[in-house]
């Protein structure tokens, strides 16, 4: 693919993913990958996904401030810290297309069920141990490609959290997990100097869309937020299937 086309795909992916992350508090990696999977080498795409998601979380931390509940967030963070090195160790050995296929199938089946069923009772059991396990799954997926928010978001929805409590968990978990993932990526050499020009495209492209997304978030209801999150997850699953199936 021509270099100019790659630059365009990278910029478009960052623009759309930035807005979605500003609105929902997560999903940068999933949305961006739906663009980047068509023309960007998987290792570079994973590095840009982590970088872009972390940049978006830092912006959101200053623009969408919610009370920080340490007791709620800590189990997720501790689990994530355990999971991230596992995900990073899996990355070089992983069949990326098979991973996208499996994840896409889960999202496409499960999210619409939750979207159209208001009768599913909230999960009250499991406590902090279950939260930590979900955080570890998020950490593993974050280490693989910056997909830190999928598992915690689904879990918070199953828990029946309102949008502000869900935002607190997702935003702070993603910020902490992505900081650790970025440090591990740099320390293990996954991120190299030749990737920096692509990072220089991602950061400015996503800046304004992310800020716009945070403004939209402030004005929506809990029900609308739930619908948006589950619809985004479903669309991300479809995009992953479309990208993975032809290559398997």
| pLDDT tens-digit series, residues 146-180 | 778 888 888 888 888 877 788 888 888 888 888 99
The confidence score (pLDDT) of residue 66 equals 57
Residue range 85-98: average pLDDT? 81
Angle between helices 222-244 and 163-188 (to 10 degrees): 40
Write b or e for each residue in 14-34: b if 16 or more Cβ atoms lie within 10 A of its Cβ, otherwise e.
Answer: bbbbbbbbbbbbbbbbbbbbb
Q: How far is CA 165 from the centre of its chain?
A: 17
Report the alpha-carbon distance of residue 151 to residue 207 in Å, rounded. Answer: 25
Q: Does 30 score more than 90 pLDDT?
A: no
Structure tokens at 60: 């959101």
Report the alpha-carbon distance of residue 60 to residue 62 in Å, rounded. Answer: 5
Q: List Cα–Cα distances, 80 to 83, 148, 214, in angstroms.
A: 5, 8, 25
The upper half-sphere exposure of residue 34, i.e. CA atoms within 13 Å in the direction of its Cβ, equals: 21
Report the alpha-carbon distance of residue 82 to residue 91 in Å, rounded. Answer: 15
Q: Does 119 score more than 70 pLDDT?
A: no
- pLDDT tens digits for 56-85? 888 877 776 656 677 788 899 999 999 999
Report the alpha-carbon distance of residue 80 to residue 14 in Å, rounded. Answer: 25
Report the alpha-carbon distance of residue 203 to residue 55 in Å, rounded. Answer: 7
pTM of the full predicted structure? 0.77
The confidence score (pLDDT) of residue 5 equals 80
Helix (H, G, I), strand (E, B) or coil at 64: coil
The confidence score (pLDDT) of residue 3 equals 64
Q: Does 2 score more than 70 pLDDT?
A: no
């Amino acid at each position: 693919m021509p270099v100019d086309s790659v630059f365009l795909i990278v910029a478009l992916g960052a623009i759309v993913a930035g807005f979605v992350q500003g609105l929902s508090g997560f999903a940068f990696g999933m949305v961006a990958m739906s663009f980047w999977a068509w023309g960007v080498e998987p290792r570079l795409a994973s590095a840009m996904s982590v970088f872009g998601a972390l940049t978006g979380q830092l912006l959101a931390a200053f623009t969408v401030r919610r009370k920080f509940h340490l007791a709620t967030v800590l189990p997720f963070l501790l689990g994530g810290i355990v999971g991230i090195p596992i995900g990073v160790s899996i990355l070089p050995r992983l069949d990326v297309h098979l991973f996208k296929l499996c994840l896409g199938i889960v999202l496409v089946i499960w999210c619409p069920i939750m979207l159209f069923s208001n009768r599913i009772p909230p999960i009250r059991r499991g406590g902090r141990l279950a939260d930590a396990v979900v955080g570890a799954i998020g950490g593993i997926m974050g280490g693989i490609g910056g997909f830190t928010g999928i598992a915690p978001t689904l879990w918070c929805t199953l828990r029946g959290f309102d949008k502000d409590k869900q935002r607190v968990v997702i935003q702070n978990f993603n910020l902490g997990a992505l900081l650790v993932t970025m440090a591990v990526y740099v320390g293990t050499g996954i991120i190299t100097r030749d990737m920096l020009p692509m990072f220089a495209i991602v950061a400015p492209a996503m800046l304004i869309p992310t800020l716009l997304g945070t403004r939209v978030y402030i004005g929506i209801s809990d029900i609308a937020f739930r619908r948006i999150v589950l619809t985004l997850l479903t669309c991300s699953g479809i995009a992953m299937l479309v990208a993975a199936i032809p290559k398997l």
